[in-house]
Amino acid sequence: MSTPSVPLTKSFAQELDANDPLASYRDEFYLLPSIYLDGNSLGLMSRRAESSLQELIDSWKALGIEGWTTGKHPWFFLSEKLGEMSAPLVGADPDEVIVTGSTTLNLHQLAATFYRPEGNKTKIIATDLDFPTDIYALQSQIKLKGLDPDEQLILVASRDGRMMEEEDIIAAMTEEVALVVLPTVLYRSGQLLDIERLTKAAHERGIMIGFDGCHSVGAIPHEFSKWEVDFAYWCNYKYVNAGPGGVGSIYVNRKHFGTVPGLAGWYSSRKDKQFDMEHMLTVAESAGAYQTGTPHIFSVAPLIGSLEMFQEVTVEKLREKSLKITRYMMDLIESELAGMGFSLANPVEDDRRGGHVSLEHEEAVRICRALKEAGVIPDFRAPNIIRLAPVAFYTTYTEVWESVQILKTIMLEKTYEKFENKRGVVA
C-alpha cells in the first residue's frame, strides 16, 4: 500500500476544513441531513438559485408580456446572457455558448448540423463506455441519413472496461470517419480524456469532433476555443447546480458561425430579424443559432444565481479543491477499506481524474442501499460501480472522512446483507 499524501485522522480533516478558502460557499447551499456525495448526478440547491428563480417568477407577475424585453433579466436575451456567463467554464468566447435544450436534444441538433456523410466518409466514432443517450442519438442521426448504425457507428472498445486509451480512439480515425463524439469525462470511471490531443488528431485527419461535457463542466476547466473543439454540449444540473432537468448548454466554435442548424427554429434567427416573421431564416452569427424554440424561462432561472457563484470563485479554484478532496478520499479508501473487496475504478493521476471517485465492488447495489440508510448518499452505476462525488462548493473534508468510516463499518458489520441485491428504478 502506498504512503498516504496526508494524515488520515479526523482532526486533520477538520484542519483542512478550517483552512479551506471555499468554506464559506457551503452556507450558500441548502444542505441535507445526510452526507451528500451525489452532486455528480444532481447538484444541491443554492440560495441564490432559489432567489433567481423567484425573481423570474416575480417578473412574470409584475410585467406580464413586457418581461420579454424589460426588467432585470429580460427573457428574450436570457439564453444569450447565460451563455456569456457560462463561457469561462469551458474556455470559450461569450458568443460561442448558448443555454438551451437538454443534453440529448442538443446532441441531436449538433449531429444534425455537423454529421455530413459524403462518399466513403460516413462513419461516426464513439466509445463503448459512453452514456447510453449519446449512443441512441447518434444511432438515430445515422438512420435519418438513410444509413445503417450497425455499419456506420464505430464504438471504440475499452481495454479494461473502465477507461479509454486515446491511442485506440485515434487509431479508429480512418478516412471513412466523418465525425467523432466523445465524453470529456467517462461517466462510470471518471476518467478525463485528453481533449486537446484528440481534437488535434481529428483535425489532422479532416474529421469534425465534439464533446459531451456533462461530467466535467463546472468541475474541470476547459479551453474549448483554444483547442479548436468544433462543438460541445452539456447539462447544467450536476456540478453547475441548475436544478433537476435544468436547461443544457451548447458550445460551437466561431469558425462554424453562419452554418445553418440541422434543426432550425425561429430562435435560430438573428435577434433583430426574428420578429420580422419572414419565411427565410436569417441565421444568428453566434451559438444562438443552435436554439430552436422559445426558452424555458423558469427552468433557466436558477442558473442565474448559480453562475454568479462561479464568476466569484472561478472553475480553476473549484478544480484545485476537487483534486485535493478526491485525493484525500482515495487515500482514506486505500487505508481504511483495504482487503474488503473494493477496487478504485477511476484514474489516480490528477490530469486524468474527473470530479468523482469510482469504486468497484461485487455488492455495489446493496452497499449503496446501506450507505443511504446510514446517512450517506452515493450513486450506483451498473453493473458494480459506487460513485462518490465530494463537490468543491459544499462538501467538507470531515464529511469525506466520516463517509469512509461509515462505509468501513458497513463492511465490517455486513449490514449491506439485509438488503435485496436490486437497484431502484432510478439509480
> Is the domain of 225 the same as that of 254?
yes
DSSP lists the bridge partners of residue 208 as 179
Assigned domain for 254 exists? yes
Q: Are residues 290 and 321 in the same domain?
A: no
CB 300 within 8 A of CB 105: no
Residues (pLDDT < 70) of the chain are: 1-5, 425-427
CA distance 210 to 224: 10
Query: Of 313, 329, 349, which residue sits at a domain end?
Result: 313
Which residues span the domain enclosing 155? 51-313
What are the pLDDT digits (tens) for 193-204? 999 999 999 999
Same domain for 397 and 254? no
Reported as a single tens digit per residue, the pLDDT across 156-172 is 999 999 999 999 999 99
DSSP characters for 245-305? T---EEEE-GGGTTPPPSS--GGGB-HHHHTT--SS--B-SSGGGG--S---HHHHHHHHH
CATH of the domain at 375: 3.90.1150.10
Whether residues 309 and 337 fall in one domain = no
113 by Cβ neighbours in 10 Å (0-12 / 13-18 / 19+) ranks as buried
| Residue 64: Cβ within 10 Å count | 9
172: three-class secondary structure by DSSP: coil
How many domains are there within the chain? Answer: 2
- What is the pLDDT, as a whole number, of residue 1? 43
Binding site: residue ranges? 103-104, 131-134, 212, 215, 237, 266, 294
Annotated binding site for pyridoxal 5'-phosphate: 103-104, 131-134, 212, 215, 237, 266, 294
Residues involved in catalysis = 131, 212, 237-238, 387
The domain that holds 195 is classified in CATH as: 3.40.640.10
Give SS3 for 5: coil
Do 297 and 331 sit in the same domain of this protein?
no
Q: Is residue 201 part of a domain?
A: yes
Same domain (yes/no): 406, 339: yes
Entry pTM = 0.96
Measured in Å, how far apart are the chain's first and last C-alpha atoms?
32
Domain boundary among 285, 313, 341: 313
Position 168 in a domain: yes
Residues 80 and 205 in one domain: yes
